[in-house]
């Protein structure tokens, strides 16, 4: 029995992510799910602009690099090009999905576009060197909020799952995290459901993964995982925010 194997859907190359960054974990979970569902050959992934911009070099399926924030629109095009034969996922950070690409996100959700969205929320712009994100916490010190995020000047962090759950459209919204083994297992379950929903034609499924950025948070990897627990999760509670099929079943 194999104790450890690299998923086939993940290419065996070194990732460029910083030590302690949780992108590697989430990449692996997505790849494992693609393997387990046997969909690699028909999957097309959309990489964002941000730290995971080069995700196209890591996933073994066909990949597209989208303009900043536009991944859900690109995914819409790819999906509609051949809805029966394309499984389409986007992989986006908080700046990409919740700031510059908010319109694309909301409208793809409202249309219940049959795609899967993996949303990495680490409360910061990583690639450009640690600027304030739409999800940066109140008081969080970043390069562009050097005195801490001041809600009087820049408002409050956006809770994407809660906001989207007000829409009638989307099929499935869940927030997970990957700061310990138990949570990683839950995250995988959610990601698998988000892909399975697409296979079943149920529609827009988004999994928000509360993630860490030790480099730009100025913490050790361990401190960063602890900070998820102590500071991120109280503001971003884990859980299922919408599961339309389950709700409809319950109502029957």
Partner 1 sequence: MADKILMKGNEAIAAAAIKAGCMHYFGYPITPQTEIAAYMAKVMPKIGGTFLQAESEIAAINMVYGVASAGKRVMTSSSSPGVSLKGEGLSYLAGSDLPALIVNVQRGGPGLGGIQPSQSDYFQATRGGGHGDYHMIVLAPASVQEMAELTVKGFELADTYRMTAMILADGTMGQMMEPVSIDDLKVNPAPEKPWATTGTQLSREHNIVNSLSLVPEELEQLNFKRYERYQVIEENETRYEEYKVDDADIVIAAFGIAARVSKNAVDEARKLGIKVGLIRPITLWPFPKAPFKKAAEHAKAFISVELNMGQMIEDVQLAIESKRPVTLCNRAGGMIPDPDQVLSAIKEVNGGIA
Which chain residues interact with partner 1 by CB under 8 A? 40-44, 46, 53-54, 56-57, 59-67, 70, 73-82, 85-87, 103-104, 106-107
Helices (H), 82-202: 94-95, 102-110, 151-154, 160-165, 181-199
* Nearer of residues 59 and 241 to partner 1, judged by Cβ: 59
Residue 77 dihedral angles phi and psi, to the nearest 5°? -60, -45
The minimum distance between CB 153 and partner 1, in angstroms, equals 27
* Nearer of residues 28 and 149 to partner 1, judged by Cβ: 28
How far does CA 62 lie from the centroid of its chain? 19
* Nearer of residues 54 and 240 to partner 1, judged by Cβ: 54
Residue 191 corresponds to which tokens in the numbers above? 């990601």
* Nearer of residues 82 and 247 to partner 1, judged by Cβ: 82
Q: Which of 192, 171, 199 lies closest to 42, judged by CA?
A: 199
The minimum distance between CB 49 and partner 1, in angstroms, equals 8
The minimum distance between CB 6 and partner 1, in angstroms, equals 16
Q: What sign has the CA pseudo-torsion 36, 41, 46, 50? A: positive
If you ran DSSP here, which 8-state letter would residue 53 be given? G
Residue 43 dihedral angles phi and psi, to the nearest 5°? -90, 140
* Nearer of residues 117 and 184 to partner 1, judged by Cβ: 117
Kindly report the CA angle at 159 between 24 and 208, in degrees rounded to 5?
25
Strand partners, 175: 208, 239
The minimum distance between CB 214 and partner 1, in angstroms, equals 23
Residue 79 corresponds to which tokens in the numbers above? 């999906």
Residue 235 corresponds to which tokens in the numbers above? 């503001």
Half-sphere exposure of 212 (CA within 13 A, CB side): 27
The minimum distance between CB 63 and partner 1, in angstroms, equals 5
Strand partners, 62: 44
* Nearer of residues 79 and 159 to partner 1, judged by Cβ: 79
The minimum distance between CB 119 and partner 1, in angstroms, equals 18
């Amino acid at each position: 029995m194999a104790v450890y194997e690299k998923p086939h859907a993940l290419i065996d190359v070194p990732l460029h992510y910083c030590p302690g960054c949780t992108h590697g974990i989430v990449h692996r979970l997505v790849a494992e799910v693609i393997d387990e569902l046997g969909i690699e050959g028909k999957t097309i992934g959309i990489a964002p602009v941000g730290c995971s911009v080069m995700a196209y070099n890591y996933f073994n399926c066909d990949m597209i690099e989208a303009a900043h924030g536009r991944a859900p629109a690109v995914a819409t095009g790819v999906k509609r090009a051949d809805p029966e034969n394309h499984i389409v996922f986007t992989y986006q950070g908080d700046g990409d999905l919740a700031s510059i690409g908010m319109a694309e996100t909301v409208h793809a959700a409202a249309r219940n576009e049959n795609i899967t969205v993996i949303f990495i929320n680490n409360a910061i712009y990583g690639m450009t060197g640690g600027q304030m994100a739409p999800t940066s916490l109140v008081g969080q010190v970043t390069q562009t909020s050097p005195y801490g995020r001041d809600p009087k000047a820049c408002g409050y962090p956006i809770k994407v799952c809660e906001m989207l759950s007000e829409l009638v459209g989307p099929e499935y919204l869940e927030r997970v995290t990957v700061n310990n083994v138990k949570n990683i297992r839950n995250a995988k379950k959610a990601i698998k459901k988000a892909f399975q929903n697409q296979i079943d034609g149920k529609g827009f499924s988004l999994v928000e993964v509360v993630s860490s950025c030790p480099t730009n948070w100025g913490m050790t990897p361990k401190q960063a995982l602890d900070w998820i627990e102590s500071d991120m999760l109280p503001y971003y509670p884990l859980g299922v925010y919408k599961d339309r099929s389950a709700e409809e079943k319950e109502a029957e």
